[in-house]
């Protein structure tokens, strides 16, 4: 089939991105315009419209889909809406994520961090996967915070993912012995689960390609900003990324966008790879790499979500 090009945009391909209205997602949405129509999936229509306008102003095409990724009903409706667009989807980027310091609940009464970062991304992927064409890429934005042995996280006193079960996580319960930093056990566990699911999907589904990216300590994004004093956000969001040993892992939204876009638009068929902030393969925690753990997370998540039809 000949490629139709609108300005420099290929319009017989489309890419879905969740959480495109801020930080890494915003930069990635702009980068992705060069590769196809961008389907912007977010919870704030005003922000989505602004981004769509900015993309159209550059001569590219974007479509907005309103979706609260923490709300399973909203996720399933959004998947339906996307399928009805009738576009050939070359890639799905599960980027939306939060790290609040104060626990709260989603529409179904589940832990908001876990529902957003794991359950929502998982449900969206499961709803769309059967409709994606052969060879499409599904990418998840993970976080090395899930690994208790990861140097920068360890230095800060983080203890990695604290998974007990999907039911327990949805209730906001984490394995004992976690960190004293508020909200971090929930965040680390949600990222532990979505990385385990990525590696499981890659083993289970050979028709599509499933990979994860750890974007690095990325300064200047909104992550963790809502519930902490500005000084704390400045320390974690900026200062930490420029002082050793953290600076080695640091990135910017624009740099992360390039790495993520490369993985999302890759046509070489790689699957089951976890990339670091430089786009090099890296390893997750020992637990996340364990097939039994991956199997357990996926089967428990499927069983849990199947109760909410």
Ligand X SMILES: NC(=O)c1ccc[n+]([C@@H]2O[C@H](COP(=O)([O-])OP(=O)(O)OC[C@H]3O[C@@H](n4cnc5c(N)ncnc54)[C@H](OP(=O)(O)O)[C@@H]3O)[C@@H](O)[C@H]2O)c1
Q: Which is nearer to ligand X, 135 or 245 (CB)?
A: 245
Query: What φ, ψ does residue 270 adopt, rounded to 5°?
Result: -65, 140
Residues of span 277-296 touching ligand X by CB under 6 A: none
Per rule CB under 6 A, is residue 171 in the interface with ligand X? no
Give the integer Cα–Cα distance in Å for 125 and 141: 13
| Beta strands in the chain, from DSSP E residues, in sequence order | 5-6, 9-10, 14-18, 37-42, 62-66, 89-94, 137-141, 209-213, 217-218, 250-251, 274-275
Question: Does the CA dihedral 281-148-188-201 come out positive or negative?
Answer: positive
Number of residues that bind ligand X (CB under 6 A): 27
Place of tokens 């919870």: 43
Q: Taking the complex as a whole, how short is the minimal distance between the CB of residue 263 and ligand X, in angstroms?
A: 14
Binding test (CB under 6 A) with ligand X, winner from 38, 128, 223, 288 = 223
Binding test (CB under 6 A) with ligand X, winner from 68, 111, 147, 185 = 68
Contacts of 164 (CB under 8 A, 6+ apart): 173, 174, 175
Residues of span 45-64 touching ligand X by CB under 6 A: 47
Per rule CB under 6 A, is residue 183 in the interface with ligand X? no
Per rule CB under 6 A, is residue 222 in the interface with ligand X? yes
Q: Which is nearer to ligand X, 36 or 146 (CB)?
A: 146
Residues of span 137-156 touching ligand X by CB under 6 A: 141, 143
Binding footprint of ligand X on the chain (CB under 6 A) = 19-25, 42-44, 47, 68-70, 95-98, 116, 141, 143, 215, 217-218, 221-223
């Amino acid at each position: 089939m000949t490629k139709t090009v609108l300005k420099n945009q290929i319009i017989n391909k489309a890419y879905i991105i969740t959480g495109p209205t801020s930080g890494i997602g915003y930069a990635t949405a702009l980068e992705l315009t060069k590769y196809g129509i961008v389907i912007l999936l977010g919870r704030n229509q005003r922000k989505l419209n602004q981004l769509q306008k900015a993309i159209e102003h550059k001569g590219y095409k974007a479509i907005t889909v309103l979706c609260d990724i923490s709300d399973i009903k909203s996720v399933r409706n959004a998947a339906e809406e996307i399928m009805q667009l009738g576009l050939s989807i070359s890639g799905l980027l599960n980027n939306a994520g939060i790290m609040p310091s104060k626990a709260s609940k989603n529409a179904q009464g589940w832990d908001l961090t876990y529902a957003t970062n794991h359950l929502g991304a998982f449900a969206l992927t499961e709803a769309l996967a059967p409709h994606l064409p052969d060879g499409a890429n599904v990418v998840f934005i993970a976080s090395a915070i899930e690994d208790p042995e990861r140097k920068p996280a360890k230095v800060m006193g983080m203890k990695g993912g604290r998974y007990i079960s999907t039911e327990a996580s949805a209730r906001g319960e984490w394995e004992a012995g976690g960190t004293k930093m508020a909200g971090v056990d929930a965040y680390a566990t949600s990222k532990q689960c979505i990385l385990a699911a990525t590696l499981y999907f890659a083993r289970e589904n050979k028709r599509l390609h499933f990979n994860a990216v750890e974007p690095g300590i990325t300064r200047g994004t909104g992550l963790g900003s809502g519930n902490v004093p500005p000084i704390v956000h400045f320390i974690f969001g900026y200062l930490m990324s420029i002082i050793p040993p953290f600076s080695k892992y640091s990135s910017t939204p624009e740099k992360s966008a390039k790495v993520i876009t490369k993985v999302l638009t890759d046509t070489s068929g790689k699957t089951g790879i976890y990339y670091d902030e430089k786009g090099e393969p890296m390893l997750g925690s020992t637990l996340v790499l364990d097939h039994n753990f991956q199997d357990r997370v996926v089967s428990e998540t499927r069983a849990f979500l199947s109760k909410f039809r």
